Every structure is written in C-alpha cells, then in structure tokens.
Structure 1
C-alpha cells in the first residue's frame, strides 16, 4: 500500500498542499483531481522518486514495479511493436539472458530461462503488445514502422502502450486521453477497468473517471483529501461537505457577532470587565471555520450572434481527402441555426478533414460548398495553439481583434478565462497547454461567431474549465459541429450525432453507449474477417455455422473460467472496500474495540490474499483464452 502521512509539497516558495494523510491500498483505482497547478503532477513526481515531500513521510513496499508514461520519445529506428515490448523490463532481461545462454551452449540454464519466460507470459507478449497497439489506433502494418516515423501525438500513444505493457504493481497515468480519439479512449477505459494493480489517474474527463475509479483524491485550497467512490460520488460528497461547512460558518459568524457585541458594550464597564475579557479570550481560542466556496476561476458566455442566416453552410456531392486518397465520398451536409452536431467515427475516417473543409482550411476534392453571406465561423483545432505569437501577451492577441476596445474591457473579458493581473501582459511562450487552449477559446468567443467548429476543444483543459465551456455551449444560440473524446461534453452539448465511417456521413441512430456497442461489433467483425480469411469464402453457410458452434463449444470452458475469475475478483474487491471503510472509522481504534479491530484486521488480511489469488487466476484464464483464440 501507499502510505501518506502529513505530506506537504512545495514548488519553490509556493506551498501546493499540506497535511495530506491517507492510505492507498493494493488494487484501488484512484482519480487525482484539482485545478491545473494544484500539485497533481508533483505528487506523481514524488511517487516516482523524482522529488521528496517537504514535510511528512511517504512510504510504500520495496520492489514495487511502478509504471508511468514517458513524456519524451526519441526518434528511434526500432519498430513500434519492439518499442512497446520494451515496457516489460523483466521480459527483455530474460530475453537477453536467453541469448547469452544460447551463445554459451548452457542447456540447463536455457531450460531454467525458458521456464521463467513462460511464467512471465513471454510467449504471448508479442500478441499482447499487438492488441495494445490495435486498441490505441495503430494498424497491423504500422506495428513494424520505426518509432521515428510517427508524429508527436502518435509517439505519445506509443509511450502509453509501453507503460500498459509493463506488468506493473502501480500504474501512474497523467492525462492519458489527451492524444486519443473517442475509440481509443473507450478501449483504454475498458483496459484500465480490468487492470489488477493499483492505479493513480490524473484526468479531466468525467465519464472516464466515473467508469474507472473507486476513490478520488482531490487537491483544493492547499489540501489533498481522499473520497470513496467515483467522480460523481465525490461531487455529491463535496457538495454536502461544503453545505455543512457553510452552515457551520454562518452559525459561528452569528456567535462571533454576538460575543463581539457583548465585548463592545461592556468592556469599559468595571462591573462587566471580567466577563468581557473572558469573551475576548473565547474569541481568541475559537477555531475559525472558513467560508465554503468552490474554486472556479472561469466565467464567460457567448454573446448572441448578430446575424443568423439559414442555412449557414451547405456541402453537396463532396469528395473529401488528400491527394489521390478519398476518405469521404459524396458528402452532403446542411447546417442551420441551432444545429448541435457531434461527429463520431473511427480514427482516420475523416472527421477532422470534414471540419477543415467546413472551416475553409481545406478544399474538397470535388463537389459544392455554399456559405451564407453573413457566415461567421469560430474554428478551434489543436494546431491553432501553435499559431499564437509566443513573444506576445493575451492582451496583445485580443487587441489585434478589436483595436477600438479599452484595455479595461479587454482585461475584464480575459478575466473570465482566468487571465488576471500581470498574466494578461505575460508572453504566451511559457504558458502551459491548458493556458494556450484557454486563450485560443477566448479569442474565438470574442469574435462572436454564428457557427462553431470544434475539433477536440477540451484537450489540456481542467475539469472546471471543461464545465464552464459546457455551460457556455449549452447557452450558445448559434450552430455547433464538434469532434471530441470527452463524452460528457458531447452528451451535454449536442443533440444530433453523425457517423463518419466507411467513406460516408450518415445519421447515427443511438447514443454514446450505442456507439460503444457499434465499435465493439465493428472490431468483432474485423477480427472474424482476418481470422477466417479466404476460408470463409470456400465454406457454405451451414458449414460456417457448424464451425462457429464447434468453436464456441471449444472455448466455452475457457470463457467460463474467465467469467468465474472476474466474478471472484469483483467479490473480493467489494469485500476489501467494505473492510477498508470499517477500518477508516476512528472509533474502531478505541481500547473498547480491540477485539473487533483484531478480527477486522485478520479478515482484511484473508480478503487481501484471496483477492491477490483471484487476480492471478483471472490473468491466467485470460491468457489461456487468448492462446486458444
């Protein structure tokens, strides 16, 4: 377990948080939340041994395998799949020893190493790495391409795959969805739900946190506190806690006012002087309750568009693609005021290309694009962060849009995006990705568009900014077309989903859960196509049904074993959580409860051991099924 005792972390002279005391147990999945700069990444650095706590004590068992995603990827010549396999360090060490034993013709040593290789799943490692790459959006052909051939975003996916390949005890993931599309996010979510180790996850994606986490560590106002449950549970508990704090604050303020009134009235009277002094001391001893508030530095909205022509934009019979490659054929789309469209579809199907054509950033290969005379497009894409003048300030960027506006008005506007004080005059160069994204959004909002084209607008934004953006978009009166891996944003902002797939644009009849099911069916269909190959063309439907039945019969015991193991893991995990809640009650450590505490600790030890064995059984069952398939 990871034990935090009264931890304080500083960055320079700035105190990020202090007094953090909690325990993270084996197998728990922790979401780490808080505003950008609150100290989440610093806490990760402490877990990796890159910095030490300024106060308090952090401890964890020795020899734990801790995996994290590398932030840099050198332009290596090795194949992508080999780079991912490097994540399993023990596997690579065994392979190196095997090569040495083979060179030395040491038969006994070779037998020992082959047994060790089998124990760590070395013979299925290539298949595991291939599945990871496929789930994160790589094609089979790309597995053999050199790492140096991939762009920055795809190299980050390789780093993520490498971290997942490590058979770790503790996995640290800092914003793992930033460089992923929705398909890869769904795959990663399912993978992490099955991960048997201890997970610490920094994420600003509500749906992602809700699906995976069973505890939240929230850093706010210089404190780091742990809450049981997922992010939605945390929000409810936090709201209740703040309401109770506000009630206690108001009650105390009335008490303080009453005491102060007595002191003011009677401190000069000799007969009441002693009582007045007593009340002054009571005020001094009183532990002041802070007024409850939630840190949200954002407050902005889209003004009503000046003109709303109908339709705003229309494409007909358009082929969209690059050079000779057509990704969407015969596209037709009409956008009217009030339309709120979310684009779904696999990676590479053409969603971003479609948005670029709509924005006028790219020309369709053929077809018609009709735009209204008063069309005013607000276009957001990640590459626009690179178009900012790094030597200039947020105020300068806004002044280029409106040279007539007063500095006071522009400062007030930028304040809604949390650019305040000296920050409005600071050069953009040293800004974080989140700050640059906020500035680009601020510039977009200021231009008062009547059509918003948003391609992954939430990358690098924290939860509070995402919430502020969702609220602003809900109230926006113009039309919206959005591509996003943030399902909460899609769900709260759009009311029409279009599927971009197989070279077509068509309405998607369903919600985001249906889309997840659609993806699973597409993957299953593709896997079956690859597996059957040309054999499928040479057998009759009757024979195919017979083969499928035989396959199901053959795999049934293995599938049953996987289900049984999963059920056992779930059962013992719930028992473990229930026991942890009982052990978290301070009353259990009273002398009167010694026997009960002893029983609980003994039961907790039994459940921990049972859970560990169940996880091993589950992993073995999964490997057996994978080999049989």
Structure 2
C-alpha cells in the first residue's frame, strides 16, 4: 500500500538514516523504534507528507486517507469534544455543519438542491453512524458520555490528547500513523487501543517506548539505528533477539575476514624477500588489499543505555510504611475511602488504576505534600523516602 525506496534524511552533516527501503502492507502493524533523536518522528513526518526526504521516494495511492496523530489541541479549544472527534473526517464534518445551518434557516429560505447534495455526502461517508462511532471511541479512551458535549477547553491536557487520538481513529483512515499514542492513557485505555489497532484493516505505524504495548500490537518492527531503517518480522521481543543475532553474525563475519587477512599477511611478511616466493607473495598482497577494501566497518548504535543505582544511607527497619484508614476528598468527590496499607523492606509496590482515581493523591499524602482528611501515615525506622 505504501512503498518506501532508498529513503535518506540528513540535517547538515548529520545523517539520520540512508538507503531505507520497505513496504507497509494492509493488516500489518509496524512498531517504529529507535533512540531519542534517531529520526523516528522525522520518518513518520516524511511518510505523512509533512516533511521532505533528502533522497528517495515514498509512493502511495492518491486516494489513500492518512490518519495522523498531531499534538495541536489548541486549535479546538472552543469546540465540543464530540465535534472535535468528528472533525477527523473534514468532508463529513463540513457536510454535517452545513446541513445543520441549512435546517436552522429553513423558516427563511430552504435550498433543497444544496440540501440534497449534502445529504448524499453524509450518506456516502456513513455519516448517520459516525456520531455513535465517535462516541464509542471516546468512551473506549476513557472519556465518558457526560463530557462529549462539553468544550475541549474544560478537559485537562492529557484528556485533550485522548480526544485528538479519538479524532484520528474515528476519521475512517486507510492508514494510521501514530506518534506515542499511549501517552496520557491509563491501563484500561491502552488495552482498548490495542484491540482497536489489532482489528484495524490497514497498515499501522506507531512510535512507542512502551515495550509491552508493542509486544501486544506490532507484527513487525522498523528499527531506526546504524544510520538506516531495518525491518524485522515479529513483535518487539522477537525484534530484540533478531537484532542481537544479526549483529553477532556480522561481527563474526568481519572477525573471520580479519583473521584471513592476518593469515595471508604472515605469508607475505615471511616470503616477500625470498626470490622463489616473491611472485606468490605479491599476489597475496594484492588479495589482502582487495579484502581490506571490501572489509565493512559496522556503524555504532545510536542507542545509549543509562546506568544508575539507588544508594541507601542505612538499611531501614523491617516495616517501611504503614497507612491506616486514609481518606481524602475534593469537594464531594472522595478519592480515597479509608486506605489501609503496609509495605515491608524489599517489597516493590505498584499503584495502578484509572486516571483520577487517586493514585498521585495517595503518594502526595504519603510524602507529606498533601494533607489527608483522616487517617495516619507512619514511616518506619531509618526510612528516608525519595520522591
């Protein structure tokens, strides 16, 4: 469906990638991975037509509809949440708006011909089910029905980005190009998005640092590294193993050639001054030069892995933290309903739940940044929290 040939992108003397060739096929979901600054978003922008490549070409059918996740929620601040979602299909949205305007002025003047044209557009684009479809997607992303008719400006930044994601998903695109779609999504919404993408009929290209999400969604991985883009079949875990094996194989091939060159060099060094062997030594020398020219130096990876560790001042007591009957409400919204919790030394605790359920509130109370309405927080002996 989308063909990429010999694609390259440079910024000044810096090459992000070169000689990148691959094809994006219907029903396939491609995880686009690489280090920060390696060129993932740049590649996505080239695929969407928002950026130009230095070399190469991206070929796609003219009628292809691209669904691209953009971070431009400020364009829609005064629009209803449901309306913003429906704007993902501009032709349908314009037809719906113009149709409503015609009906609103019908008591003054009714343009029957124009109304028929708009009605045909709405039916052709399945407009009568579009609102229900958009509402389902919004709810799947954690936006309940009661906010659908509210202005986008009433939502927090994270929920605004969810609306933009819903806009893309509801636009009935042929291809999805998504840059970090799981940002600001809770676990339930991520699981819903995974199912949506698995059922999507067209190609999907998704940038994500969420390895579990990529394992559940990706059928292939596009890896931006070593100044090129390499396609691997399988999910993220399979990609890691394939990439490691490919690198080891190439390193072993180079090592083998280096050993072969060294072996021939010993012969040359030993016999180059001996008349009976001079011609053979010269022949070996030419062969060494040829093999040395063919020897490929592997480029370094753009990935950098930080190393860090947490150093204890002193070991804590056996009981690290005790929370008793903790309560907290914001107005009439009680988010903590009498929490009881004990944490022992060496335990690792995950606090999880939907957005707005009180996870950060609990941490802030425990650390002393927020006052609880009721209950107690006790830190154990020699416990020094880091937050």
Fold-level similarity (TM above 0.5): yes
The yes-or-no answer on 1:329 pairing with 2:337 is: yes
The question of whether the paired residues in 1 share the 8 Å contact of 2:226 and 2:301 is answered with: no
- In 2, distance between residues paired with 1:304 and 1:265? 58
The residue correspondences of 1:485-500 to structure 2 (distance < 5 A) are none
Compared with structure 1, are the counterparts of its residues 373 and 338 closer, same or farther at alpha carbon in structure 2 (3 Å cutoff)?
Answer: closer
The secondary structure found in structure 2 opposite 1:362 is coil
The question of whether the paired residues in 2 share the 8 Å contact of 1:26 and 1:197 is answered with: yes
- What's 1:98 paired with? 99
The secondary structure found in structure 2 opposite 1:262 is helix
Provide the aligned C-alpha RMSD in A: 2.3
Compared with structure 1, are the counterparts of its residues 217 and 378 closer, same or farther at alpha carbon in structure 2 (3 Å cutoff)?
Answer: same
- What's 1:82 paired with? 83
- What's 2:163 paired with? 158
The yes-or-no answer on 1:14 pairing with 2:14 is: yes
The offset of 1:191, in angstroms, is 1.1
Instruction: Give aligned pairs, total.
Output: 379
- What's 2:304 paired with? 297
The secondary structure found in structure 1 opposite 2:317 is coil
The secondary structure found in structure 2 opposite 1:219 is strand
The question of whether the paired residues in 2 share the 8 Å contact of 1:206 and 1:231 is answered with: yes
The residue correspondences of 1:553-568 to structure 2 (distance < 5 A) are none
The question of whether the paired residues in 2 share the 8 Å contact of 1:171 and 1:199 is answered with: yes
Q: Deviations along 1:74-127, whole A, 9 cap, x unmatched?
A: 162121111111112121132245357666634455345434423322112221
The offset of 1:328, in angstroms, is 1.3
- In 2, distance between residues paired with 1:100 and 1:308? 69
- In 2, distance between residues paired with 1:116 and 1:72? 27
- In 1, distance between residues paired with 2:330 and 2:97? 44
The offset of 1:214, in angstroms, is 1.5
The yes-or-no answer on 1:343 pairing with 2:343 is: no
- In 2, distance between residues paired with 1:54 and 1:283? 36
The yes-or-no answer on 1:231 pairing with 2:239 is: no
The question of whether the paired residues in 2 share the 8 Å contact of 1:245 and 1:292 is answered with: no
The offset of 1:301, in angstroms, is 4.1
The question of whether the paired residues in 2 share the 8 Å contact of 1:242 and 1:293 is answered with: no
- What's 2:207 paired with? 202
Q: Deviations along 1:290-340, whole A, 9 cap, x unmatched?
A: 469866522424255222222111110110233553211111111111111
More strand per residue: 2
- In 2, distance between residues paired with 1:155 and 1:269? 81
Q: 2:217 aligns with which of 212, 215, 232?
A: 212
- In 1, distance between residues paired with 2:98 and 2:335? 47
Q: TM-score, normalised by structure 1?
A: 0.57
The question of whether the paired residues in 2 share the 8 Å contact of 1:88 and 1:166 is answered with: yes
Q: Deviations along 1:356-415, whole A, 9 cap, x unmatched?
A: 222222221111111124222122xxxxxxxxxxxxxxxxxxxxxxxxxxxxxxxxxxxx
Q: Deviations along 1:483-520, whole A, 9 cap, x unmatched?
A: xxxxxxxxxxxxxxxxxxxxxxxxxxxxxxxxxxxxxx
The secondary structure found in structure 1 opposite 2:73 is coil
The offset of 1:11, in angstroms, is 2.2
- What's 1:4 paired with? 4
Q: 2:317 aligns with which of 286, 309, 317?
A: 309
- What's 1:221 paired with? 226
More helix per residue: 1
The offset of 1:267, in angstroms, is 3.5
- In 2, distance between residues paired with 1:160 and 1:151? 14
Gaps of 5+ in 2: none
- In 2, distance between residues paired with 1:236 and 1:49? 33
- What's 1:359 paired with? 367
The residue correspondences of 1:441-590 to structure 2 (distance < 5 A) are none
- What's 2:146 paired with? 141
- In 1, distance between residues paired with 2:382 and 2:254? 53
The question of whether the paired residues in 1 share the 8 Å contact of 2:323 and 2:377 is answered with: yes
The yes-or-no answer on 1:48 pairing with 2:55 is: no
The question of whether the paired residues in 2 share the 8 Å contact of 1:79 and 1:145 is answered with: yes
The offset of 1:156, in angstroms, is 1.4
Compared with structure 1, are the counterparts of its residues 252 and 192 closer, same or farther at alpha carbon in structure 2 (3 Å cutoff)?
Answer: same
Compared with structure 1, are the counterparts of its residues 303 and 70 closer, same or farther at alpha carbon in structure 2 (3 Å cutoff)?
Answer: closer
Q: Deviations along 1:211-248, whole A, 9 cap, x unmatched?
A: 22212111111121112222222223223222322321
- What's 1:252 paired with? 257
Compared with structure 1, are the counterparts of its residues 119 and 314 closer, same or farther at alpha carbon in structure 2 (3 Å cutoff)?
Answer: same
The offset of 1:32, in angstroms, is 0.8
The yes-or-no answer on 1:371 pairing with 2:371 is: no
Q: TM-score, normalised by structure 2?
A: 0.90
The offset of 1:344, in angstroms, is 2.7
The secondary structure found in structure 2 opposite 1:161 is helix
